[in-house]
Structure 1
Amino acid sequence: MKGFVVFSLFLCGLLIKFDPATCSYECEAEHNSPEALRINVFSKKTRTGKWQTEFRAYKDDSPLEEDGYFDVQVTQDVVLCGGRRQVTIQGKITSLEVNDTFREKELHFHQSTGNNVKLFNAGRTAEKLIVTETGYGLAFTHRPLRDNELFEVILEKKTNHFKNSLGIGISTSSPANMIVPKFITEVPPPSWSMYYDVIYHNAQVARRGYGKSLDTLVVGDRVGIMRRSNGGLHIFINGEDQGEAASNVPPNVYGVAELYANAARVTIVKH
């Protein structure tokens, strides 16, 4: 059984009691307050029978270049009461400062990610919540890439649950304006991506046998993607250009790292 709740609250400590039978909750924050946050809450039962809740916090009124990051610490208690499941969630939200220079120059991940991703390290690190889940691991750059700008991540954690590992790509759509899908190939077109040694344009195979397979990457390896000013798309592995992967790519594209299959954590490399 799964539940999904969206609500707003102030930047402060909080105590929320949610009854799924009535969909009621206690929250006195005004929805139009500039201090209000929107919290996505996703509860589901794990294979061990325990309930797990995932949170993602963001401000509705934040411009794209002024994303806010928040440290959310929560606990959850689930009890059966009168034949109904009652969920009590208690947590604390602390804002993290991001200076203007960082916002303008340094790439970090956009707050809108796949449901199986958490961000930390001031938005530079993306980690998979459930490592046995193949998809829902997308993390986008917070702004479009500049011409000849390298979006590069380092693989910091890898599991051995699957045969494949990691995906990287670009999207012409802002993550702020989409429901983040399961895979890069499912983002609104046009998009380009690489899995294994295969280049995809939208959901179609555009090229096979391109460069070094991403499945062979080990912890500590780096993979990057760049749109050149001539519209050529290039992918880099450990700093080595794998050649042109696509041409006639439009400007203003967002970089996308995907914690696909065995890839469990990546961090954006500073340049």
Structure 2
Amino acid sequence: MKFFSITLIFLLLFFNATGQYQNVMISNEDFPEEPSITMNPRNPDQLVAGANLNNYYVSNDGGYSWTRGTLVSQQYNVAGDPCVIVDTAGSFYYFHLSNPQQGSWLDRIVCQKFDFENQTWTDGTFTGLNGEKDQDKEWAVVDSATNTIYVTWTQFDEYGTSDPSKYSNILFSKSTDAGTTWSDAVQINEVSGNCVDSDNTVEGAVPAVGPDGEIYVAWAGPEGIVFDRSTDGGETWLDNDIFISAQPGGWDYNIPGINRCNGLPVTCCD
């Protein structure tokens, strides 16, 4: 019995060790952080990733090797918060914040589309244009049944201010033509947050698509983690946010040695 037990443990350890995937350093240039990565479901060898402030990375061998590039948008500039997604046709999209030549800092959410074959990016389209407010912390998802792109983000009346008359809200927009045009942004949250960019600010809105086309979004803010949904492609949303969980200590917290640490939700649907 002792011999059998020892042999079994050895075999489990052996198979566990051989199942480990080799870590691959994508890049350590330009102090990359806030990474985003996705894979083409039509060709799993194709991966694209992004990292602050304007870095992108491409792999054509399943992630074993990578090529780094600098994302450029002549019209809108590239101001961070990368979100990389891929649609049902295998086209990649890189969402980010703006700092345009003609406009104001954070006045819109920008989407640039990638041609994998030619390794080129479009100059970008945008949603949520509002030069009097600040658009931040976007995230996007594709409906695999319709190829519609959904994006949510935080709009600040004035980023960073503690003025109690200024608010933050969660906005939503969609594209039904592969990112060429976008619907007008609509507010989906019930309870607004402040503009401090901390615990009582509404942030971390990540959309997910359900099996019947439902859109689910959760975010953090003064009410803790809350949730909203749409069953008609984002045309209408619940009147009241659904409470999920309290967040003791808030979502903005300190860890020694780390400049900034946020505990924001990510929405998924199986």
Q: TM-score, normalised by structure 1?
A: 0.36
Select the structure of larger CA radius of gyration.
2
With a CA cutoff of 8 Å and minimum separation of 6, indicate the structure with the bigger relative contact order: 1
